[in-house]
Amino acid sequence: MTCWRPAALAMLFISLAAFDARTAGASSIIGNPMPDLHGGPWINHSPLTAEDLRGRVVLVVFWTYGCYNCRHVEPYIKAWARRYRAEGLVVVGVHSPEFDYERVPAKVRDYVRNHDIAYPVVLDNDFSIWKRFDNHYWPTRYLIDRRGTVRYRHIGEGGYARTEREIRALLADGPGPGQ
C-alpha cells in the first residue's frame, strides 16, 4: 500500500488547481483591454479596430480552415453571429494559419464563401493579432464586453452552453458608451 506524504499531496492539489484554471479559461488577458485587430487583409468587412467595436459585445475567434476542431466549432459561431447580431454581438474571425497552404488569401476567401461565413474575418498570416492576444491554440474564442474589456476565454471545442450564457450576460449588461 502506498502512503502519500503531505508534500506529495500538496503538489498534487497544486497541479490539479493549475490544470483547472487553464481549462476553465483563465488567462492573463482576462480583465484587460481588447488588443487591436489591425492586420489583414479582411474578408466580409473593412478593417475593424478595438475602438470601432467599443459599445458592442465582441466574440473574437482564432481559427484556421484546415483545423478539424475549428470546423466543429464553426456552426456554433455562425449561429451566435446570426442570433445575437441585432442585440449588439459582433463576431470577428481571426484566421491564423497552422500550415503553409492555409496562408493563401484566395483559399481563405473561398473557404469563407463556400461555408457561408458572413461575419468579418481578418487574415493573421504573421500571427501579430495572435501574439497581441497571447493566444496559443486553435480554436480559441474570446468575449469582450461593451467597454472593450476581455471577459472570457474558451480553448478548443465544447463549452458551447457556457459561451452562450456568457454572450447573453454581456448583452444583458446594457448599452455601452455612445449607445
Does residue 18 belong to any structural domain of this protein?
no
- d(CA 103, CA 178) in angstroms, rounded, equals 37
Tell me which residue of 39, 58, 46, 41 sits closest to 104, measured CA to CA.
41
Which pLDDT does position 176 carry in this prediction? 52
Residue 151, domain CATH? 3.40.30.10
Strand 57-63, strand 89-95: pairing: parallel
CA 104, 106, 112, 115 torsion-angle sign: negative
The reported pTM is 0.84
Q: Which structural domain range is residue 65 located in? A: 29-172
The tens-digit pLDDT sequence of the chain (179 residues) is: 444 444 443 443 444 443 333 444 456 899 999 999 998 899 999 999 999 999 999 999 999 999 999 999 999 999 999 999 999 999 999 999 999 999 999 999 999 999 999 999 999 999 999 999 999 999 999 999 999 999 999 999 999 999 999 999 999 987 654 44
Does residue 21 belong to any structural domain of this protein?
no
Tell me which residue of 137, 140, 146, 147 sits closest to 167, measured CA to CA.
146
